[in-house]
Structure 1
Amino acid sequence: MRLSVLDRSHVGLGLSPQQALRDTVRFAQQVEDLGYHRFWVAEHHSVPGVAGAAPTVLAAAVAAATSRIRVGTGGVMLPNHQPLVVAEQFGVLGSLFPDRIDVGLGRSVGFTDGIRRALGRGKEAAEQFGDQLAELLGYLHGRSASGVHAVPAEGLDLPVFLLATGSGATTAAEFGLPLVIAAAHGDERMIRTIEEYRADFRPSAQAAEPYVVLARSIAVADSTERARRLLVPEAWATAYSRTHGEFPPLEAPEEILARSMSDRQRAQFERALRGHLFGTPDEVAAGLQDLVARTGADEVLVTTTAHDPADRLDSYRLLSRVQRTPTPVG
Structure 2
Amino acid sequence: MRFSVLDRAQAIVGDSDADALKRTLDHARYVEDLGFSRFFVAEHHGVPGIAGSAPTVLAAAVAAQTSSIRVGTAGIMLPAHQPVVAAEQIAVLEALFPGRIDAGVGNSVGFTQPVRDALRQGDPTELKAAFPADVAELLAYLRGEAEITARPANAGATPVWLLAGFKSVLTAAQLGVNVIVGGPSLFDRGAQRGDCASGGAQRGDCASGGAQRHPYLECYREIHPAGQAIVSVDIAVAETREAARELLMPQIVAGVLSRTTGSFDALDPRASRVRLTATQRARVDESLAMSIFGSPEQVRDELGQLCEFCGVDEVLVTGGMADIAGQRHSEKLLAEMMD
TM-score with structure 1 length normalisation? 0.90
Contact between 2:139 and 2:156, CA under 8 Å: does it hold in 1? no
Q: Which among 293, 304, 313 is matched to residue 278 of structure 1?
A: 293
For 1:226, the aligned partner's letter is: A
Map 1:170-189 → 2, pairs under 5 A: 170-185=170-185, 187-188=187-188, 189=191
1:9 shift after superposition? 0.9
Mapped partners of 1:155, 1:186: distance in 2: 34
Cα deviation 1:102-127 (Å, max 9, x = unaligned)? 11011222232222211112122221
Contact between 2:143 and 2:155, CA under 8 Å: does it hold in 1? yes
Q: Which among 251, 254, 267 is matched to residue 234 of structure 1?
A: 251
1:273 shift after superposition? 2.5
Map 1:1-330 → 2, pairs under 5 A: 1-122=1-122, 123=124, 124-144=126-146, 147-155=147-155, 157-165=157-165, 168-185=168-185, 187-188=187-188, 189=191, 191-199=214-222, 201-202=223-224, 209-252=226-269, 255-324=270-339
Cα deviation 1:220-269 (Å, max 9, x = unaligned)? 012221111111111111111122121111111xx333343333333333
Mapped partners of 1:226, 1:39: distance in 2: 25
Mapped partners of 1:128, 1:263: distance in 2: 38
Supply the RMSD in Å over aligned alpha carbons.
Answer: 1.7
For 1:233, the aligned partner's letter is: P
How much identity, in percent, do the aligned residues show? 45
Mapped partners of 1:155, 1:210: distance in 2: 18
Moved more, 95-104 or 150-159: 150-159
1:165 shift after superposition? 4.1
For 2:308, the aligned partner's letter is: A
Moved more, 129-138 or 32-41: 129-138
* Unpaired stretches in structure 2, ≥5 consecutive residues: 193-213
Mapped partners of 1:118, 1:166: distance in 2: 30
For 2:233, the aligned partner's letter is: R
Contact between 1:3 and 1:302, CA under 8 Å: does it hold in 2? yes
1:327 aligned residue:
none
TM-score with structure 2 length normalisation? 0.88
Contact between 1:107 and 1:165, CA under 8 Å: does it hold in 2? no
Mapped partners of 2:156, 2:177: distance in 1: 16
Q: Cα 1:259–1:163, aligned 2, differ >3 Å: closer, same or farther?
A: closer
Mapped partners of 1:116, 1:152: distance in 2: 30
Mapped partners of 1:235, 1:277: distance in 2: 13
Moved more, 92-101 or 152-161: 152-161
Contact between 1:236 and 1:272, CA under 8 Å: does it hold in 2? no
Moved more, 260-269 or 72-81: 260-269
Contact between 1:106 and 1:165, CA under 8 Å: does it hold in 2? no
Contact between 2:48 and 2:266, CA under 8 Å: does it hold in 1? yes
Q: Cα 1:4–1:12, aligned 2, differ >3 Å: closer, same or farther?
A: same
1:205 aligned residue:
none
Contact between 1:8 and 1:52, CA under 8 Å: does it hold in 2? yes
Mapped partners of 1:270, 1:131: distance in 2: 37
* Unpaired stretches in structure 1, ≥5 consecutive residues: 203-207, 325-330
For 1:243, the aligned partner's letter is: T
Would you say how many aligned residue pairs link Structure 1 and Structure 2? 314
Cα deviation 1:34-62 (Å, max 9, x = unaligned)? 00000000111111111111100000000
1:328 aligned residue:
none
Mapped partners of 1:259, 1:108: distance in 2: 29
